[in-house]
A and B are shown apart, each in its own frame.
Chain A
């Protein structure tokens, strides 16, 4: 029995999120919740996702209704044991709302960590760091590496959760996000070198790596070249484990310069194509309009995926990589086939149903738990 009252609050998914709309509650008042239960759906201007309960207990109160839009950090509901009296719940809510109003007024704009820039071997790389290594003295940080055409925001549903245990860095690879666009030659080796330089620039001795898609191949390359610096590798719908890759996606991504052409390309990324929102398309178009992006993506595609085949496959070299590797895949991945996961032996292979190539967005809770568990024992 616990007297603790826990607040459910509007999460911050991604740098640009300032508010979210509760589209529907998935549980009733008074429901028994376990940590990780899906309790409501939240829509931001970019994406809709489920909110999982951060605590176990009884949903004592819902403080927002479906259809309401509230700022990041606002109270969504209250979880507590049945034994906690109603008066205490009321007092908790009143106190929270009062403090939240004050905080919101004080820090209208200063919500959340801001991205920074590192000079990594002459390349300017943007990165975002969260968490401070609470996993114990010397817990190695985790570095998140996005895929082709992505950026650090791809980890918006993962980085905050994973940062509860350790420092978590998400970076923009060269040619991506707000990092350097010019001088990208394009090979996976070059990108791995950039990540190595990034570790040097930020003073990280050893790190866990998690890479999505092309970022997974980058992580494998770094683990292969500099195993002493890599504690573990998590591959998410990763390149580097087989030759096949969806060339229509790669070429479509490079070619599309209009919303209408871009949408069907981006829909290939998700098991549920309705997740591709107007704002998601617009953000990616804004990225693609930046000087140098077209050439950088072309160079990377030509070097890494020429003729629709992956140029660098590590599947047969995994024995040589003396670093623990796990693979997480969306069963409906239409970019890199989920069959590639078989290169990684059980029990470190996880293929999740109801998710596509962006499994870390579509099944964020499960992916976060798998990464967290894999890292904790190492």
Chain B
């Protein structure tokens, strides 16, 4: 056990799975560090250094640099998965989804179903998401609701370093296409992470706080914010259960419903745009299944329905904060 950053935890998961299973390969832009160009070996390790060190250990046969052509290399990864490898492809920013979506939603997501269960597609697409990096509208979105909408995809939103390592190893071993979403602002967050490989099962929510008054469901970076809100509210005598679903597909509906049955109040925090997002989806789930338990209307904490602003003041105002979450909790308690 030692302290590791979110970035190190992901890197360790990749390295340990590549050691364990020779069919695991990694591919993406600048992952090996300058193939076909006069760049240095292992110069970048991906744009934020997550795959650094893999190419020197595993070589260029297993750590591939790709052209800046998401449609080509995501398609190649899906094809390689269907024919025997376990590729982990890095889609640098989830915002680039638009140019490779057919490969994901019409191909990878459909193979098992349309080939009568005779094909598996064990591909992982790692991708960066989220605001707060001063990276403007085309590099800051939280598009996991779009993947969650597609049957046949599994969608993972790790909230911390411990979660990231166990969920990524599970993703690589899973036989279905998995979209693994890494929040770019979390990469330097540090916590205790076991040195040994381990897996966290999909569809099993984590309770990061337990309390009696309000259930807060939060995803990814918002889990830490919800914890901070819960800790602050405890001093006011309000105790919260914080539910981190870990995966939006499959979604651990039971844990969310059971928690609301205990507390009678729900606040959902989602960094994604509010229309057709996880906050709306989880609110509907609870309204349908635990309506009689509710003591107050459900409250959603999301950004406004706008592109992510570039002006720092506006970006800060756009993102949900622990204070906004605490205000929502006080509102449902009033």
Interface residues of A (CB under 8 A from B): 16, 178, 181, 257-259, 278, 286, 289-292
Judge whether A291 and B198 touch: CB under 8 Å: yes
| CB-CB contacts below 8 Å: B180-224 with A | 192, 194-201, 204, 207, 210
Given A178-B1, A278-B207, A289-B166, A257-B198 contact (CB < 8 Å): no
Tell me the smallest distance from the CB of B256 to a CB of chain A, in Å.
13
Judge whether B198 and A286 touch: CB under 8 Å: yes
Judge whether B196 and A258 touch: CB under 8 Å: no
Instruction: List 24 A-B residue pairs with CB atoms under 8 Å apart, sorted by A's residue number.
Output: A16-B192, A178-B1, A178-B194, A178-B195, A181-B196, A257-B201, A257-B204, A258-B204, A259-B207, A278-B207, A278-B210, A286-B198, A289-B166, A289-B198, A289-B199, A289-B200, A290-B194, A290-B196, A290-B197, A290-B198, A291-B196, A291-B197, A291-B198, A292-B196
* Best-buried of B162, B195, B198 by chain A (most CB within 10 Å): B198
Q: Closest A-chain residue to B169, C-beta based? A: A291
> 6 tightest A-B contacts by CB?
A289-B198, A291-B197, A290-B198, A290-B196, A278-B210, A289-B199
Of B196, B200, B201, B207, which contacts A178 at CB under 8 A? B196
A292 to B196, CA, bound (A): 10
A292 to B1, CA, bound (A): 16
Tell me the smallest distance from the CB of A285 to a CB of chain B, in Å.
9
Q: Closest A-chain residue to B1, C-beta based? A: A178
Tell me the smallest distance from the CB of B268 to a CB of chain A, in Å.
21
Given A178-B1, A178-B194, A286-B194, A291-B204 contact (CB < 8 Å): no
* Best-buried of A16, A258, A289, A290 by chain B (most CB within 10 Å): A289
* Best-buried of A181, A257, A290 by chain B (most CB within 10 Å): A290
Tell me the smallest distance from the CB of B285 to a CB of chain A, in Å.
19
Tell me the smallest distance from the CB of A200 to a CB of chain B, in Å.
25
A330 to B198, CA, bound (A): 34
Tell me the smallest distance from the CB of A287 to a CB of chain B, in Å.
9
A178 to B194, CA, bound (A): 8
Chain B binding surface, main DSSP class? loop
Task: Collect the chain A residues with CB atoms within 8 Å of residue B192's CB.
Answer: 16
Tell me the smallest distance from the CB of B171 to a CB of chain A, in Å.
14
Tell me the smallest distance from the CB of B32 to a CB of chain A, in Å.
27
Task: Collect the chain A residues with CB atoms within 8 Å of residue B195's CB.
Answer: 178
A290 to B199, CA, bound (A): 7
Task: Collect the chain A residues with CB atoms within 8 Å of residue B204's CB.
Answer: 257-258
Task: Collect the chain B residues with CB atoms within 8 Å of residue A16's CB.
Answer: 192
A178 to B198, CA, bound (A): 12
Tell me the smallest distance from the CB of A44 to a CB of chain B, in Å.
15
Task: Collect the chain B residues with CB atoms within 8 Å of residue A292's CB.
Answer: 196
Given contacts A178-B195, A289-B166, A291-B196, 10 further A-B contacts (CB under 8 A): A178-B194, A257-B201, A257-B204, A259-B207, A278-B210, A286-B194, A289-B198, A290-B194, A290-B197, A291-B197
A16 to B3, CA, bound (A): 12
A292 to B198, CA, bound (A): 9
A16 to B194, CA, bound (A): 13
Tell me the smallest distance from the CB of B201 to a CB of chain A, in Å.
7
- B135-166 interface mask toward A, CB cutoff 8 Å, 1 = contact, 0 = none? 00000000000000000000000000010001
Task: Collect the chain B residues with CB atoms within 8 Å of residue A181's CB.
Answer: 196
Judge whether A291 and B199 touch: CB under 8 Å: yes
A292 to B16, CA, bound (A): 14
A259 to B210, CA, bound (A): 12
A251 to B122, CA, bound (A): 32
Q: Closest A-chain residue to B204, C-beta based? A: A258
A16 to B1, CA, bound (A): 11
Q: Closest B-chain residue to A277, C-beta based? A: B210
Task: Collect the chain A residues with CB atoms within 8 Å of residue B166's CB.
Answer: 289
Task: Collect the chain B residues with CB atoms within 8 Å of residue A290's CB.
Answer: 194, 196-198
A233 to B196, CA, bound (A): 33
A16 to B191, CA, bound (A): 12
Tell me the smallest distance from the CB of B46 to a CB of chain A, in Å.
25
Q: Closest A-chain residue to B209, C-beta based? A: A278
A286 to B206, CA, bound (A): 12
Task: Collect the chain A residues with CB atoms within 8 Å of residue B198's CB.
Answer: 286, 289-291
A258 to B204, CA, bound (A): 8
A259 to B162, CA, bound (A): 17
A289 to B200, CA, bound (A): 7
Tell me the smallest distance from the CB of B209 to a CB of chain A, in Å.
9
Task: Collect the chain A residues with CB atoms within 8 Å of residue B162's CB.
Answer: 286
Tell me the smallest distance from the CB of A149 to a CB of chain B, in Å.
16
A286 to B193, CA, bound (A): 10
A82 to B210, CA, bound (A): 45
Task: Collect the chain A residues with CB atoms within 8 Å of residue B196's CB.
Answer: 178, 181, 290-292
Q: Closest B-chain residue to A278, C-beta based? A: B210
A286 to B195, CA, bound (A): 12
* Best-buried of B192, B196, B210 by chain A (most CB within 10 Å): B196
* Best-buried of A16, A278, A291 by chain B (most CB within 10 Å): A291
Task: Collect the chain A residues with CB atoms within 8 Å of residue B200's CB.
Answer: 289
A4 to B7, CA, bound (A): 52
Q: Closest A-chain residue to B255, C-beta based? A: A260
Tell me the smallest distance from the CB of A366 to a CB of chain B, in Å.
31
A290 to B207, CA, bound (A): 20
Q: Closest B-chain residue to A259, C-beta based? A: B207
Tell me the smallest distance from the CB of A348 to a CB of chain B, in Å.
37
Tell me the smallest distance from the CB of A289 to a CB of chain B, in Å.
4
A278 to B210, CA, bound (A): 8
A233 to B201, CA, bound (A): 41
A181 to B210, CA, bound (A): 32
